[in-house]
Structure 1
Amino acid sequence: MSCAGAELRINFSPGRVQLVQEEVLVPAQRVLVTGATGLLGRAVCREFQNAGWLVIGTGFRRARPRLLRCDLTDEDAVRGLLQEYTPDVIVHCAAERRPDVVERHTEAAVNLNVHATSTLAKEAATCGALLIYISSDYVFDGRNPPYGEDDSPNPLNVYGRSKLEGERETLRHCPGAVVLRVPVLFGEVESVMESAVTSLWTKVETTESCTLDHCQQRFPTDTRDVAAVCRKLSERARQDPSIRGLFHFSGKEQMTKYEMAVSIAQAFNLPSHHLIPLTEQPAAAAALRPINSQLNCSRLELLDLSVTPRPFGTAVTDALWPFTPDKRWRQTVFH
């Protein structure tokens, strides 16, 4: 794939000098997106594609047409993939990101979150690609927010530890890489259960009383905004090698699950009196969560990438409107 540019050429002929404009084909920049079937991966693919990049998306169990099937835990498969497609940028979205699942299936999660990341970092360094590794605010314990990039991580659960190890492997094998820490994400979903944020819709649309956590402070962030940061960081870092290492990006609104659910109800003009705030930490979860792992994003803001987080109410409406009763038929068209 290539895109057209223009080049000025001087044509010398007897008795005159002529300025001629010729069309020149410039190869499109290539981005490899791992986890392209997932919540963030889909948004990243769309963002880069809309900006004219050649997008190579990978998946594994959920691989679909136009995506490459690749087991990221297979070192030979990863090496062959990068040698064949020679990406300029790799955005590594693939991960087991459900903390309770990581607690129960630790070995498989560590293979993906740590070992596969290590392989990608080695191969990215070998082929000269910029690697962007998506990490998590759960590398912090939540006791002393907000957290800057230089603050000491202290994850409370296996998921957080696996993401921290993934960061270390990334920067150890590929010193020019970018690590982007983000909080809980939501966006265009194939099922409301795909995100911890949009899954609240099942509580909102029912009229049965239900309790929702009102302790843990979260900063829900739209995947479209994260995708825009990834693209703009890619474009800037490829021009300026000093852009490397740790960065934070987050939504600005601090909300508990209860507050998010009430906001969703308000956005769709639905009642919220059946939603009951739970002000004590539930003991049912397998993995401990930080109370408040707010990220200080000032380092990224200094780059002036012009990505302002969308307001929660607007963004969550965009994500959930296909699941409202009078719009469900549209899922067959748009999803």
Structure 2
Amino acid sequence: MSSACAEQRLVFSPGLVQLVQDEVLPQGPRVVVTGATGLLGRAVCREFQNHGWTVSGTGLRRARPRFLRCDLTDEDAVRFLFQPDVLVHCAAERRPDVMERNADAAVSLNVHASTACGALLIYISTDYVFDGRNPPYGEDDCPNPLNLYGRSKLEGEREALRHCPGAVILRVPVLFGEVESVTESAVTSLWQQVQEATEERRALDHCLQRFPTDARNVAAVCRKLAERARQDPSIRGIFHFSGKEQMTKYEMAVAMAQAFNLPSNHLVPLTELPAGSAPRPVNSQLNCSRLEQLNLSVEPRAFSVAISECLWPFTADKRWRQTVFH
């Protein structure tokens, strides 16, 4: 966004008082994106902005000058700030192991922050609401989450639909995309082990079947859902979107190595799950036919192509990094 035309205003709520700088934008329909500093939130902001929407994003610890700083667990702050046409709720604690250690705070973010809305709500959920025993899963299949993360997102879905009956729930699997750090995504974090081509072996999970999904594709689906739902009230309830390639973490890492012509013989498939981690579904593949039948889906590109675009700034040639996020 250009900063040539801007104004300052005071944002007040019982939890937060902050001076923020707003840019004067063409008045298209307004979308508020929670978790705008995160991987998916950034992609959603960019997608809506590129299609003529007036975009406001929120963050907390990583809020930047162009995002509103808002504690989404403060219901008064949420009511004060949110008066959009569409609210896309991307903010969440997505790490199952972290969820188990910090249950109260994470559940509050994943569940209760979704309930304050006065417009169309798009709530981002997860394939982890399923137990992975009988894939692929349709929107009407009975959820049975195995860990606290999945349970919290399922409760968030139900709270969203209870408070906002016209809400859209979009379930997605593990995401990757244009990251600021490779550790930002469970997929791109594998790049660190791919590059460590030493004699020391790197064991990677080769049990759990995943469907890595580009956050840019998810953002496009969110925008399509928002545009259609504003015209058609039947666009509501639960939808699934997913990448189409089934891969374990080991297979993702090998694909990354091949994409950059790097060795992969130091990567070893681990066929037993490590002890002590949160339980995860073995295969929670999503059936995405509802989106496809309504012509609201997008066709994912091959994983090797999409992941190459995301990882090239983190190759050994440090000069490439200078062109990213500036």
- The residue aligned with 1:224 is 216
* Among candidates 139, 152, 163, match of residue 149 of structure 1: 139
- Quote the Cα distance in structure 2 between the aligned partners of 1:43 and 1:323: 19
Residue type at the aligned position of 1:98:
R
* Among candidates 284, 291, 296, match of residue 293 of structure 1: 284
Deviates more, 1:88-97 or 1:206-215: 206-215
Residue type at the aligned position of 1:310:
R
Deviation at 1:330, TM superposition (A): 3.0
- The residue aligned with 2:294 is 303
Does the 8 Å CA contact 2:187/2:212 hold for their aligned counterparts? Answer: yes
Deviation at 1:306, TM superposition (A): 5.1
- The residue aligned with 2:260 is 268
Secondary structure at the counterpart of residue 121 of structure 2: strand
Is 1:316 equivalent to 2:307 in the alignment?
yes
- Quote the Cα distance in structure 1 between the aligned partners of 2:57 and 2:320: 26
Any residues of structure 2 matched to 1:51-130 within 5 Å, and which? Answer: 51-82=51-82, 86-118=83-115, 120=116, 124=117, 127=118, 129-130=119-120
Superposition RMSD in Å: 1.0
Does the 8 Å CA contact 2:129/2:143 hold for their aligned counterparts? Answer: yes
* Among candidates 167, 176, 179, match of residue 157 of structure 2: 167
Deviation at 1:263, TM superposition (A): 0.4
Q: Please give the TM-score of this superposition, normalised by the length of structure 1.
A: 0.87
Secondary structure at the counterpart of residue 72 of structure 1: coil
- The residue aligned with 1:195 is 185
- Cα deviation digits, residues 135-189 of structure 1 (max 9, x gap): 0000000000000001000000000000000000000110100000000000000
Runs of 5+ consecutive residues of structure 2 not aligned to the other structure: 1-25
Is 1:133 equivalent to 2:130 in the alignment?
no
- Cα deviation digits, residues 211-236 of structure 1 (max 9, x gap): 11100000000000000000011000
Deviation at 1:332, TM superposition (A): 3.1
Does the 8 Å CA contact 1:225/1:310 hold for their aligned counterparts? Answer: no
Deviation at 1:207, TM superposition (A): 1.4
Does the 8 Å CA contact 2:27/2:54 hold for their aligned counterparts? Answer: no
Runs of 5+ consecutive residues of structure 1 not aligned to the other structure: 1-25
- Quote the Cα distance in structure 1 between the aligned partners of 2:77 and 2:297: 37
- Cα deviation digits, residues 27-81 of structure 1 (max 9, x gap): 4110000000000000000000010110000001110011000111111110110
Is 1:250 equivalent to 2:235 in the alignment?
no
Residue type at the aligned position of 2:104:
E
Residue type at the aligned position of 1:170:
A
Does the 8 Å CA contact 1:184/1:219 hold for their aligned counterparts? Answer: yes
Deviation at 1:329, TM superposition (A): 2.6
- The residue aligned with 1:32 is 32
- The residue aligned with 1:16 is none
Counting aligned pairs with the same residue, the percent is 76
The structure with the largest helix share of the pair is 1
Any residues of structure 2 matched to 1:14-33 within 5 Å, and which? Answer: 27-33=27-33
Does the 8 Å CA contact 2:291/2:297 hold for their aligned counterparts? Answer: no
Does the 8 Å CA contact 2:205/2:248 hold for their aligned counterparts? Answer: yes
Does the 8 Å CA contact 2:87/2:122 hold for their aligned counterparts? Answer: yes
Aligned pairs, how many?
A: 298
Runs of 4+ with deviation above 4 angstroms: none
- Quote the Cα distance in structure 2 between the aligned partners of 1:299 and 1:305: 9
